[in-house]
Amino acid sequence: MAAPVAGSRIAPRRVPGLISLVVLVVIALVTLLGPWLAPYDPGAQNAALGAVGPGADHLLGTDNLGRDVFSRLLAGARTALIGPIFIAAGTTALGTTLGLLAGFRRGWLDAIMMRLTDLMFALPGLLILIVVVGIAGGSYVTAVVALIVLGAPVDIRVIRSLALSQRELAYVDAARTMGLSDRRIMFRHVLPNLAPTVTSNLLLSFVFALIALSGLSFLGIGLPAGTPDWGLMIQENRTILDLNPWAAVAPVLLITITAVAATILGDKVFERLSAGKELTA
Amino acid sequence: MDFAKVAAKRLGAVVVLLLTLSVLTYALLALAPGGPEEALLGDRASTPETRAAIRALYHLDEPFPVRYWEWLTGALSGDFGSSIYFRQPVLSVIGDRLPVTTTLAGFAILLTLAVGIPAGLAAGLRRSGVLDQGITFSTLVALAFPPFGIALVLLYTFGVALQWVPIYGSDQISNYVLPATALAMGQTAIVIRQTRAAALDVGGQDYVTFAKARGLPRLRIWGSYSLRNAALPVLTVAGLLAAGNLTGAVFVEQAFSLPGLGSLLIQAVNQKDIPLVQALVLLGGAVVIAVNLLVDLAYMVVDPRVRHGASTRAEA
């Protein structure tokens, strides 16, 4: 390990995690404050102007209908990020609960969970989701709910295998001997020990959801055309790459930067929290 | 358990999977707004007679199991009905578009293996070196980069900024370079990670140390011991890659306006062309299931432990 830079108190190995955290906090703030920061109404058209590149009036230029790309990016952060936050929370809650129950209780629930996750792993889930939501004319909310279900199997499997090894440990026996209920042991004693994994699952689910949901928008599924949204902006503006590339490239970069930052943070949080804990699945 | 028993068990599971997939696929008809009749009529003018004809043709008045059975037996003999939009048998519509997607997918798989395995080995051999860190970070970015995003950045860089390739155009093989690259990026990252982990794992095993101690040449050690053992975990992700390839092709074809099965699926979904969608979903699912089966069988051939009943995949 390299020695810390003189005058700095931050160990070099913590730099990537910290940068990621700062990036995510800035993106979250911008998402919340977007409506107050946007210089233009994201829906305001200026057909006479059309698509122009970045300039003094429009920081990142305009799209085909003369709408301000920067303002649309700010407004689009909401649908692009809030959905994935809900999906990540939902997937983690569902996957952790079911995985914990399956691994700790075993029995018929475990058998069902294993077969069900086997089934979901064996089919091209995202493809089926695109078709189902597309055919049913599903809304943004439908897509969010469907992605919660689609993401759960990974969490179920990971948490289950950890719960399996935890239930053999002495503290679980001790708690049993004291007459604590299964539910109490699972959620008050075992779950806290799985915190590193649950936290990193949360961030990884967020990355999966961010890419999947913006992908659905890119295909024109879920959100009505014209909504300011990162995925939809990529779809709508891919034909004006020669006039104003930023209209499509900027949302691509934002999605990727957010996903990379969340992945790195997930790794680092896991390393940090699991230091000193035996957590090998 | 012997080979035949294990193989029979896997085949049984495959049949169950295919049936589940087909029920799901058939149920799509019921999902369409306005019900199956409207979906199958499309925008054709309808008289009570045509409606009755449609109901009879698709057995819509029969109970669900009968309807499903009629559809399934038809599908099994290659009859998926007619596309509502193209007014042609579904299979011939698919046949027209198939070469585009197979070229794209084949090209992408070639790229994935040609880049992924050497890069993974290189990273695994010099653990924590600059090269390893660089490669590991690149895979992280590649995995977080959505395929349609990569497609767009490639289009801008090589089509608009450098003007090396036409943005949209002819169907020469050079047209597939950018789409295949966009499709291959995420998969390559998975193969690199898997190969790297396998190389690290195998490199530390006793039999490798022992082979070194016996003074075997390095090439021999790699060939007979390391690569063969490292092949197993790499094989495991093949099923994952097949599914990723299919889904990725949808996004990439859409981004590059390639007339393949992926863009056909999106078009069919948007036009609610249900018979076409059903055939495409069933086809895609069957490909993924078949690849997974092949992986399992290959496992049994490569690894005697699996053949003798010790499961390595089921509990993973």
Query: Mean pLDDT per segment of 10 residues, for chain A of length 281 residues?
Result: 54 83 92 83 78 78 83 89 94 94 88 87 83 83 91 91 87 87 87 88 92 91 84 88 86 93 89 66 40
pLDDT at B175 over 90: no
- End-to-end alpha carbon distance in chain A: 27
pLDDT at A272: 82
Pick from A266-280, B13-27, B70-84, B160-174: least confident: B160-174
Cα maximum dimension of chain A = 78
* Interchain CB contact of A107 with B (< 8 Å): no
Q: Tell me the two tokens of residue A153.
A: 């199997």
Burial class (CB in 10 A: 0-12, 13-18, 19+), B44: exposed
CB contact under 8 A, B277 and A135: yes
B308: confidence class by pLDDT, cuts 50, 70, 90 = low
Mention every residue, 6+ apart, whose C-beta is less than 8 A from residue B81.
B58, B74, B89, B90, B275
Task: Say how many CB pairs under 8 Å bridge A and B.
Answer: 123
What is the least distance, in Å, from the CA of A226 to any CA of chain B? 17
Q: What ipTM score was computed for the predicted complex, to two decimals?
A: 0.82
The DSSP bridge partners found for residue A62 are A68
Cα separation, B314 vs B316, whole angstroms: 6
CB contacts of B10 in chain A (<8 Å) are none
Which pLDDT belongs to residue B312?
45
Question: Mean of the per-residue pLDDT values for chain B?
Answer: 80
Domain A59-273, what architecture?
A: Orthogonal Bundle (1.10)
The answer on pLDDT for B59 being more than 90 is no
A215 contact B CB<8A: yes
The model's confidence at residue B34, banded by pLDDT at 50, 70 and 90, is low
Q: Is B96 exposed, middle or buried (0-12, 13-18, 19+ CB in 10 A)?
A: middle
| B146/A252 touch (CB, cutoff 8 Å), yes or no | yes
One-letter amino acid identity for A101? Answer: L
Q: What pLDDT score was predicted for residue A8?
A: 57
Average pLDDT over residues B91-109: 90
Residue of chain A minimizing CA distance to B19: A119
Look at A249 and B152 and tell me if their CB atoms are within 8 Å: yes
Kindly list the residues from chain A whose CB atom is less than 8 angstroms away from the CB atom of residue B28. 131-132, 135
What span, in angstroms and rounded, lies between the C-alpha atoms of B133 and B46? 64
- What is the tally of helices (H) and strands (E) in chain B? 14, 0
Q: Does A142 touch chain B (CB under 8 A)?
A: no
pLDDT score, position B171: 54
Percentage with pLDDT > 70 across chain B:
87
**Residues B285, A219: C-beta atoms closer than 8 Å:** no
B69-86 confidence digits (pLDDT tens): 888 888 888 788 888 788
B interface residues, A as partner, C-beta within 8 Å: 17, 20-21, 24, 28, 31-33, 140-141, 143-146, 148-149, 152-153, 155-156, 159-161, 167, 239, 243, 246-247, 250-251, 254-255, 265-266, 269-270, 272, 274, 277, 281, 284-285, 288-289, 292
pLDDT of residue B35: 67
Instruction: Tell me which chain B residue has its CA closest to the CA of residue A205.
Output: B144
- Given an 8 Å threshold on Cβ–Cβ distance, is A249 in contact with B153? yes
Which pLDDT score, from 0 to 100, does residue A280 have?
A: 45
How far is the CA of B172 from the CAs of A67, A131, B111, B166, B249, in angstroms?
36, 30, 18, 11, 18
Cβ B155–A238 below 8 Å, yes or no? yes
Given pLDDT bands bounded at 50, 70 and 90, which one contains residue B311? Answer: very low
pLDDT at B252: 92
- Taking domain B97-315, whether its CATH number is 2.60.20.30 is answered by no
Q: Does A162 touch chain B (CB under 8 A)?
A: no
Contacts of B161 in chain A (CB under 8 A): 245
- Using the beta-carbon criterion (under 8 Å), do B145 and A256 form an inter-chain contact? yes
The helix/strand/coil state of B273 is: coil
**Is the confidence at residue B291, as pLDDT, over 60?**
yes
For CATH 1.10.3720.10, the residue range(s) in chain B are 97-315
Asked if A248 reaches chain B (Cβ–Cβ under 8 Å), the answer is yes
Which residue in this structure is represented by tokens 């295949």?
A: B180
Q: How confident is the model at residue B27 (pLDDT cuts 50, 70, 90)?
A: confident
What's the pLDDT score for residue A207?
93
Tell me the CB-side half-sphere exposure of residue B297, using CA atoms within 13 A.
Answer: 12
Q: Give the position of tokens 């719960």.
A: A163
Nearest to B153 among A215, A219, A252 (CB): A252
Q: Which of B71-80, B107-116, B259-268 has the lowest mean pLDDT?
A: B71-80
Instruction: Indicate the domain borders of chain A.
Output: 59-273
B37-42: which pairs have CB atoms within 8 A and are 24 or more residues apart? B39/B84, B39/B272, B39/B274, B40/B84, B40/B274, B40/B275, B41/B84, B42/B84, B42/B85, B42/B271, B42/B272, B42/B273
Choose the weakest-confidence range: A264-273, B127-136, B234-243, B301-310.
Answer: B301-310
Nearest CA in chain A to B13: A119
Confidence of residue B244 (pLDDT cuts 50, 70, 90): confident
